[in-house]
Amino acid sequence: MPLVTEGTMLRSALMNVMTATAIKAGRGLKRDLGEIENLQVSLKGPGDFVSAADRRSEKIIFEELSKARPGYGFVLEEAGTVEGSDKTHRWYVDPLDGTTNFLHGIPQFAVSIALEREGQLVAGVVYNPATDEMYVAEKGQGAYLNNRRLRVAARRDFADALIACGVPLLGKPEEHARFQRELALMMTKAGNVRRMGAAALDLAFVASGRFDGFWERGLSPWDMAAGMVLVREAGGFVTDADGGDRVLTEGTICVGNEIMHRELIKTLRMA
């Protein structure tokens, strides 16, 4: 259990395991980012190289967490679900969130690791190795960015709000019309909108007050699990895009402080 003292925190054993794992995986990704800049200009492009970097990161995370907490299960983006002998604990792992950014040499990507205990998300770590920003949260213990305590933004006026979102991919044409309606309406109500391209960091940015809110559809549990703990522990509201509690099963998310969250849900309903 972490000891909290005036905005800094002594990390628990669990947090040490999670952060050390994220740093180890992140070190490889940071090294690979340098290589991408070379591949970017080659005819072949960095596609295969990025897939390999992604798999390498996941392998490191799987090995480190398996060693530190034998028996825990896994929901891994690349390798899928791994049943553990311990049925009460399960990791959610996105070894590289923000792949498209990474592929283009844009330093907005992260390693995302969350722990679920008896069906509840209890800890989350989101680490961007390019900026060395480590976001951590443990249920009931607050959220931190590199040891600084986090709080969601206190903004009350939606017309001043900076709202993040996700744009559905080319391969999801059925989602395009709805997103266009939502964005069109959002532009008339929120201060401004951003699409940064890494959902785990979008959530971390809401936890740290950089963004006032965030919504996205079509996400997977590993995109959201760690960031959900961050936002909740920073005092934010976390629901699915209908205002319900089926975030992980529906794959939609809407977060912000109480007022921003309410305005977001209202706007999404009207769209």
Q: What is the contact surface with Ca ion in residues (CB under 5 A)?
A: 77, 94, 96-97, 223
**Residues 212, 256: contact at Cβ < 8 Å?**
yes
Asked if 94 touches ligand IPD (CB under 6 A), the answer is yes
- Number of residues engaging ligand IPD in binding (CB under 6 A): 13
108 φ, ψ (degrees, to nearest 5): -120, 80
Backbone angles phi, psi at 179, to 5 degrees: -60, -40
213 binds, among ligand IPD, Ca ion, none (CB under 5 to 8 A by kind): none
The SS3 call for residue 186 is helix
Specify the residue, 2 or 98, whose C-beta has the smaller distance to ligand IPD. Answer: 98
Q: Are the CB atoms for 222 and 142 separated by under 8 Å?
A: no
Q: How far is the CB of 110 from Ca ion (least distance, A)?
A: 9
Q: What is the DSSP string of 24-54?
A: HHHHHHHHHHHHHHHHHTSSS-SHHHHHHHH
Candidates 32-40, 136-144, 181-189, 193-201; binding stretch for ligand IPD (CB under 6 A): 193-201
Question: Which of the stretches 8-16, 218-226, 236-244, 249-257 binds ligand IPD when contact is defined by CB under 6 A?
Answer: 218-226
Which member of 126, 161, 219, 260 binds ligand IPD (CB under 6 A)? 219
Residue 138 burial class via C-beta count within 10 angstroms: exposed 0-12, middle 13-18, buried 19 and up: buried
Whether residue 197 contacts residue 83, with contact meaning beta carbons closer than 8 Å, is answered with: no
* Interacting residues with ligand IPD between 127 and 166 (CB under 6 A): 166
33 binds ligand IPD per the rule CB under 6 A: no
Closer CB to Ca ion, residue 2 or residue 227?
A: 227
Residue 5 CB contacts under 8 Å (≥ 6 apart), including other chains: none
Site membership for ligand IPD, residue 105 (CB under 6 A): no
> Does residue number 32 form part of the binding site for ligand IPD (CB under 6 A)?
no
Is residue 163 within 8 Å of residue 205, measured between CB atoms? no
| 77 vs 233 by CB, closer to ligand IPD | 77
Nearer to Ca ion, 57 or 141 (CB): 57
Q: Of 27-35, 58-66, 144-152, 194-202, which part binds ligand IPD (CB under 6 A)?
A: 194-202
Per CB under 6 A, 227 contacts ligand IPD = no
Smallest CA-to-CA distance from 135 within 23, 245, 259 is with 23
Backbone φ and ψ of 195, nearest 5°: -130, 100
Contact pattern for ligand IPD over residues 53 through 92, marking x by CB under 6 A: ----------------------------------------
Which of 79, 63, 108, 36 shows the shortest CA–CA distance to 222?
79
Binding site for ligand IPD (CB under 6 A): 94, 96-99, 166, 197-199, 216, 218-219, 223
